[in-house]
């Protein structure tokens, strides 16, 4: 038999050899690939305020993020640009500029971001004077070896890397709400700390019932997670925290595993609502772990809501039926592009796909509780 091959056979043999080499893991040749990519359908999932506020512009936060992802921007850059719209909108009183202040009338902001492909995260807590804490959180991830910087240190870091520091982030709306809250709680000069705390919460909820502040903004936040066509996943959460909180209080939003968690091979989850309930179980992390075990985003989130329900045993946190008297929502997506919004009580969340932005009802565990 002749050992010579013709040109067609040579091309077929070379193609087969190239395919075989491509199938060998890069680690065989001494270098692992930086990112394992996979085809996916671009998607943005967010708290409902991500498809409501526009800050005077033509698009909402989820629209902005999806547009940038579709045009090839880094996923985290796109998500942060999306939540910046919400942070900067003075009408949104649970996030950024004009967020409801703490008990001393000072706006303190928290944020966290995670970049799935780069395995990098950053956060800031009790940050004063910067309208866009999500950008400062991203700077922590990009420019330092740390995850979380808080208080005065967070402000000095922001100043040092070029952010403008403002004396006061209150708007006329947020300051008016704080003054009304002070009027309702301070005149009695409570000496019993427990009664003082209860009076503050009751005043806040009464103001919400009267329409002076939005009920959703008492615990309001925005979480926004996204997936691009290469299967890269990122997330960001940003908030002004609990309305009229104790100065310096941090909730779940800036904490990895609580307010946000991302694993590029699995998915992402983030939250809004009562941060202390979420912190107790690092629930966003647990939702992602549920998806790692094969659970659908909806089932992964509902399972963790059930855990929070079981762990809520203090009478002050229970309603007349023995269920949690607070709200908590989770926004979840997986690496396949499946997603869900889940909550204790009926609520809404936002998505944006190639079909445009939508506000959808969450999967709720409990019936709507009258706010009387």
HEC-encoded secondary structure of 73-85: CCHHHHHHHHHHH
**Domain range list for the chain:** 43-174+210-364
CA 267 – CA 112 distance, rounded (Å): 16
pTM of this prediction? Answer: 0.83
What contacts 156, CB < 8 A, 6 or more positions away?
Answer: none
| Token representation of residue 313 | 């045993």
Say what the alpha-carbon torsion angle 130, 113, 365, 51 is, to the nearest 10 degrees.
Answer: 60
Q: Which residues contact 188 (CB under 8 A, 6 or more apart)?
A: 199
Give the whole-angstrom CA distance, residue 83 versus residue 79: 6
What local confidence, expressed as pLDDT, does residue 180 receive? 86
Q: Which residues of 68-96 are buried (b: 16+ CB within 10 A; e: fewer)?
A: bbbeeebbbebbbbbbbbbbbbbebbbbb
**Residue 190, pLDDT score:** 35
The terminus-to-terminus CA distance of the chain in angstroms comes to 93
> How far is residue 3 from each of residues 6, 9, 10, 329, measured CA to CA in Å?
10, 12, 12, 70
CATH architecture of the domain covering 43-174+210-364 = 4-Layer Sandwich (3.60)
Q: Specify whether 221 is catalytic.
A: yes
Query: DSSP alpha helices (H): ranges in the chain?
Result: 7-23, 61-70, 75-88, 133-143, 151-160, 172-185, 193-209, 275-281, 283-292, 297-311
Lookup: tokens for 54: 């526009």
Q: How far apart are CA 61 and CA 359, in angstroms?
A: 12
Catalytic residue among 221, 238, 312, 348: 221
State phi, psi for 371 to the nearest 5 degrees: -100, 85
- Classify the C-alpha dihedral 50-52-57-60 as positive or negative: positive
pLDDT tens-digit profile, the chain (372 residues): 444 445 444 344 444 444 433 333 333 323 333 333 466 899 999 999 999 999 999 999 999 999 999 999 999 999 999 999 999 999 999 999 999 999 999 999 999 999 999 999 999 999 999 999 999 999 999 999 999 999 999 999 999 999 999 999 999 999 999 988 887 876 543 334 555 556 666 676 676 677 665 655 455 689 999 999 999 999 999 999 988 898 999 999 999 999 999 999 999 999 999 999 999 999 999 999 999 999 999 999 999 999 999 999 999 899 999 999 999 999 999 999 999 999 999 999 999 999 999 999 999 999 987 554
Residues in the chain: 372
DSSP summary character for residue 28: G
* pLDDT at 207 (0 to 100): 66
Q: Which of 262, 365, 260 shows the shortest CA–CA distance to 312?
A: 365
Cα within 13 Å of Cα(13), Cβ side: 7
pLDDT given at position 205: 66
Angle formed by the axes of helices 283-292 and 297-311, to 10°? 140
Q: What per-residue confidence (pLDDT) applies to 216?
A: 57
- Strands 148-150 and 120-127, bridge-based pairing: parallel
Which of 263, 261, 283 lies closest to 273, judged by CA? 283
């Amino acid at each position: 038999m002749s050992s010579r091959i013709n040109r067609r056979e040579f091309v077929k043999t070379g193609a087969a050899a190239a395919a075989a080499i491509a199938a060998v893991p890069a680690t065989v040749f001494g270098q692992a690939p930086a990112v394992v990519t996979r085809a996916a359908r671009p998607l943005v999932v967010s708290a409902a305020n991500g498809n409501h506020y526009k800050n005077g512009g033509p698009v909402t936060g989820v629209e902005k993020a999806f547009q940038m992802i579709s045009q090839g921007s880094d996923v985290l850059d796109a998500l942060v640009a999306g939540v910046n719209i919400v942070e900067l909108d003075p009408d949104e009183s649970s996030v950024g500029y004009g967020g409801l202040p703490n008990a001393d009338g000072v706006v303190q902001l928290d944020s966290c971001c995670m970049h799935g492909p780069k395995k990098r995260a950053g956060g800031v807590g009790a940050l004063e004077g910067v309208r866009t804490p999500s950008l400062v959180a991203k700077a922590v991830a990009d420019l330092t070896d740390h995850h979380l910087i808080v208080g005065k240190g967070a402000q000095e870091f922001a100043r040092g890397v070029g952010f403008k520091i403002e004396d006061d982030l209150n708007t006329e709306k947020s300051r008016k709400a704080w003054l009304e809250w002070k009027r309702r709680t301070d005149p009695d000069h409570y000496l019993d700390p427990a009664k003082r705390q209860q009076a503050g919460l009751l005043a806040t909820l009464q103001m919400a019932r009267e329409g002076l502040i939005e009920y959703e903004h008492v615990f309001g936040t925005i979480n926004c997670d996204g997936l691009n066509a290469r299967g890269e996943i990122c997330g960001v959460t940003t908030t002004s925290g609990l309305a009229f909180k104790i100065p310096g209080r941090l909730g779940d939003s800036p904490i990895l595993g609580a307010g946000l968690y991302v694993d590029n091979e699995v998915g992402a989850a983030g939250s809004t609502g009562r941060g202390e309930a979420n912190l107790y179980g690092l629930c966003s992390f647990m939702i992602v772990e549920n998806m790692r075990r094969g659970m659908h985003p909806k089932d992964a989130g509902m399972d963790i809501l059930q855990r929070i329900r079981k762990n809520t045993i203090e009478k002050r946190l229970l309603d007349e039926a023995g269920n949690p008297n607070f709200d908590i929502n989770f926004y979840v997506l997986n690496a396949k592009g499946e997603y869900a919004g889940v909550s204790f009580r009926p609520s809404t969340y936002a998505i944006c796909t190639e079909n445009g932005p939508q506000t959808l009802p969450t999967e709720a565990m409990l019936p709507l509780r009258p706010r009387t």
